[in-house]
């Protein structure tokens, strides 16, 4: 292989005043001179924050990465980027995914790095770091933080999906507030991210199936010492990747994206997967359409029996063989030869895998559910598409016609959902407007609206719910999300009225509002946007430039890459 000059040499390899400036200030950290003499500089991009509890153990994880980098002859330097904690950030972490990606991109490009290790965990920290890194395209490896240990409450295993169940139980009087408070501490009892196949675990699986991490990255629990071993090996590997010049664009081929979609179907991954994978594809320049998620998911059954679609937790998933065991089972369906960060083809990463619990990871001839994956429905209500997670939906509602009960925004929903006079029954379809990328702004996870109390009291467990918002990866129900175009753009969703008939027919991939075109044209003329328009700062930029959800909700000017070259040199 031709020896390539290190990118960091443009800083640390200089003589005279420039070299003095680049090295002298670094030496205030007690770094000896030999570190600057041609060792690959590895940036460790850390989303540690005590406001992001899922990533609060990342300082320790970074130390393990550093050990690996040093052992392989590299020079590790850790740097922070904006951290997005799903539980605390308001109004919603998704609003800032693109901002954090800009921080990541510019931090990588602006500094003397030859390779990057991305430390990510909580939902948005993975796509934001990857999107940013793709727009620079250096050798890059991902280390995920790992999931929490399974929660234990009064003898039962619990995880984030139980939050929704507990909420319904408290509202229907089956659970007291005191019991709910006890359950809080029982659920989050170790470091790590949500312990179910929510968005964080989906993202960790996405990374591994794309070939961007070492094998087993997706499922090793955060508290398991083997997570640190993986981090150390990843530190070692990134130094070799720099020498081999394996960049993100060498790994992220169309085949890698196709594999990620098929694997996501087999594990029952989150609906947020669509938005994030589309945005990543847009950055690295791989053609991907929302229809690909439907086409590639077809005939892939649900193999992983994991909450929220199934019974078990991420800890069980790891002990059962983790993602390599799923990928081995899918072997005949997968693209097998794309390069991964391990330096091997993807098939070599899982060829030795074994399944140790076939109730957690089922076989193709005995799947957990035959319906899996994400279906993309279209019709006059969602011209550019909407997403429904089949494994989390109720079979009897997948073909259904019902009357709309409409909420103009999330405040309207909260004000009226438990009104005893609300004209809703078990055949109704709940419609929520103005929670899309522009409308909210930021597309919050409110699409799996809690059911009206009066229906819960009657024992109703599910209704069709339609919105332009998102749903937590830990959520479940017959929930149609990401309606595009969103209500704030004047899409048909904006025109729906109480009592309109809506038809969902998932087998035909149809979502249709049964109102004739003439009436819709009249409503369209009368329609006025009602969403909040922010006048300054990042949110103004976001509202002016965010793309619709079928394109991944990235900012339009962030598509593509600017490469790793530094264009001006002021010294
Ligand atoms: Fe961080 Fe669920 S809140 S992964």
Own/partner contacts of 166-175, CB < 8 Å, gap of 24 or more, are: 167/450, 168/450, 168/451, 168/456, 171/418, 171/450, 171/453, 171/456, 172/453, 172/456, 172/457
- Cite the beta strand spans of 408-452 per DSSP E: 429-432
**What confidence score (pLDDT) does residue 392 get?**
87
Rounded CA separation 234/232 (Å) = 5
**What confidence score (pLDDT) does residue 64 get?**
98
Residues belonging to the chain: 571
**What confidence score (pLDDT) does residue 109 get?**
98
Q: Where are the domains of the chain?
A: 39-149+190-350, 374-534+541-550
Whether residue 332 contacts residue 259, with contact meaning beta carbons closer than 8 Å, is answered with no
Predicted confidence (pLDDT) at residue 173 exceeds the cutoff of 90: no
Q: What is the pTM of this model?
A: 0.96
What is the Å distance from ligand 1's center to 441 Cα?
A: 21
**Pairing assessment for the beta strands 75-80 and 115-120 based on DSSP bridges:** unpaired
Q: pLDDT tens-digit profile of 187-203? A: 999 999 999 999 999 99
**Pairing assessment for the beta strands 429-432 and 399-407 based on DSSP bridges:** parallel
Predicted confidence (pLDDT) at residue 376 exceeds the cutoff of 60: yes
Question: What would the mean pLDDT of 124-132 be, rounded to a whole number?
Answer: 98
Categorise residue 562: left if φ over 0, alpha if ψ from -120 to 50, beta otherwise: alpha
Predicted confidence (pLDDT) at residue 3 exceeds the cutoff of 70: no
CA angle 57, 58, 63 (to 5 degrees): 110
- Atom 2 (ligand 1) nearest CA: 194
Whether residue 78 contacts residue 44, with contact meaning beta carbons closer than 8 Å, is answered with yes
- Atom 1 (ligand 1) nearest CA: 122
CA angle 383, 385, 391 (to 5 degrees): 150
Which numbered atom of ligand 1 lies nearest the CA of 199?
4
**What confidence score (pLDDT) does residue 65 get?**
98
* pLDDT bracket for residue 165 (50, 70, 90): confident
Instruction: Give the 3-state secondary structure of residue 284.
Output: helix
374-534+541-550 CATH fold: Glucose Oxidase; domain 1 (3.50.30)
**What confidence score (pLDDT) does residue 570 get?**
67
Which numbered atom of ligand 1 lies nearest the CA of 472?
2
CA angle 195, 199, 203 (to 5 degrees): 100
Rounded CA separation 361/322 (Å) = 8
Residue 107: enclosing H or E segment and its boundaries? helix 97-110
Rounded CA separation 338/46 (Å) = 28
Predicted confidence (pLDDT) at residue 140 exceeds the cutoff of 70: yes
Q: Is the peptide bond before 381 cis (omega within 30 degrees of 0)?
A: no
What is the Å distance from ligand 1's center to 553 Cα?
A: 20
Q: Comparing 164 with 247, which gets the higher pLDDT?
A: 247
**What confidence score (pLDDT) does residue 569 get?**
75
Q: Write the CA distances from 111 to 11, 105, 115, 275, integer angstroms.
A: 9, 10, 11, 29
Which numbered atom of ligand 1 lies nearest the CA of 85?
1
What is the Å distance from ligand 1's center to 183 Cα?
A: 17
Q: pLDDT tens-digit profile of 227-259? A: 999 999 999 999 999 999 999 999 999 999 999
Q: Write the CA distances from 477 to 174, 276, 446, 462, integer angstroms.
A: 20, 21, 12, 6
Question: What would the mean pLDDT of 511-520 be, rounded to a whole number?
Answer: 97
What is the Å distance from ligand 1's center to 199 Cα?
A: 8
* pLDDT bracket for residue 1 (50, 70, 90): very low
Q: pLDDT tens-digit profile of 30-58? A: 999 999 999 999 999 999 999 999 999 99
Q: pLDDT tens-digit profile of 492-515? A: 999 999 999 999 999 999 999 999
Instruction: Give the 3-state secondary structure of residue 432.
Output: strand
Burial of 15 (0-12, 13-18, 19+ CB in 10 A): exposed
């Amino acid at each position: 292989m031709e020896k390539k000059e290190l990118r960091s040499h443009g800083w640390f390899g200089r003589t005279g005043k420039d070299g003095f400036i680049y090295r002298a200030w670094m030496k205030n950290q007690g770094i000896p001179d030999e570190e600057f003499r041609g060792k690959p500089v590895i940036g460790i991009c850390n989303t540690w924050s005590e406001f992001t509890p899922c990533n609060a153990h990342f300082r320790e994880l970074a130390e393990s990465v550093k050990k690996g980098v040093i052992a392989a002859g590299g020079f590790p330097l850790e740097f922070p980027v904006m951290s997005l904690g799903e539980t605390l950030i308001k109004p919603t972490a998704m609003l800032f995914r693109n901002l954090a990606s800009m921080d990541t991109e510019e931090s990588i490009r602006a500094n003397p790095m030859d390779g990057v290790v991305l430390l990510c965990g909580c939902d948005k920290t993975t796509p934001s770091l990857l999107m940013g890194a793709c727009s620079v395209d250096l050798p890059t490896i991902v280390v995920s933080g790992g999931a929490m240990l399974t929660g234990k409450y009064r003898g039962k295993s619990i995880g984030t999906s139980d939050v929704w169940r507990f909420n319904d139980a408290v509202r229907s009087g089956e659970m007291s507030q005191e019991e709910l408070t006890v359950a809080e501490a029982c659920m989050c009892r170790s470091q790590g991210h949500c312990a179910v196949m929510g968005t964080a675990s989906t993202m960790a699986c996405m990374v591994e199936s794309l070939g961007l991490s070492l094998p087993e990255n997706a499922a090793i629990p955060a508290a398991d010492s083997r997570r640190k071993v993986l981090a150390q090996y990843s530190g070692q590997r990134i130094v070799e990747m720099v020498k081999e010049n394996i960049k993100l664009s060498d790994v992220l081929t169309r085949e890698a994206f196709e594999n990620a979609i098929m694997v996501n179907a087999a594990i029952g991954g989150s609906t947020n997967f669509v938005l994030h994978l589309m945005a990543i594809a847009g950055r690295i320049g791989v053609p991907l359409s929302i229809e690909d998620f439907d086409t590639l998911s077809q005939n892939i059954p649900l193999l992983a029996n994991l909450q929220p679609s199934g019974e078990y937790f991420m800890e069980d998933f790891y002990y059962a063989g983790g993602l390599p065991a799923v990928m081995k089972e899918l072997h005949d369906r997968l693209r097998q030869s794309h390069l991964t960060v391990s330096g091997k083809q993807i098939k070599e990463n899982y060829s030795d895998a074994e399944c140790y619990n076939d109730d957690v990871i089922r076989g193709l001839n005995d799947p957990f559910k035959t319906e899996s994956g994400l279906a993309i429905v279209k019709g006059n209500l969602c011209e550019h598409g909407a997403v429904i997670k089949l494994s989390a939906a109720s079979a009897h509602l997948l073909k259904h016609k019902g009357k709309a009960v409409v909420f103009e925004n999330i405040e309207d929903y909260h004000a009226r959902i438990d009104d005893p006079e609300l004209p809703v029954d078990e055949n109704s379809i709940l419609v929520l407007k103005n929670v899309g990328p522009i409308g909210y702004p930021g597309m919050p996870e409110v699409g799996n609206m809690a059911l009206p109390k009066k229906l819960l009291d009657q024992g109703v467990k599910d209704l069709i719910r339609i919105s332009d918002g998102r749903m937590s990866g830990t959520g479940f129900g017959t929930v149609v999300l990401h309606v595009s175009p969103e209500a704030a753009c004047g899409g048909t969703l904006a025109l729906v009225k109480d009592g309109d008939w809506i038809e969902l027919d998932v087998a035909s991939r149809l979502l249709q509002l049964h109102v004739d075109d003439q009436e819709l044209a009249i409503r369209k003329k009368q329609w006025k946007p009602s969403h909040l328009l922010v006048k300054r700062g990042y949110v103004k930029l976001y509202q002016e430039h965010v793309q619709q959800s079928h394109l991944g909700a990235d900012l339009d000017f962030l598509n593509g890459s600017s490469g790793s070259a530094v264009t001006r040199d002021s010294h």
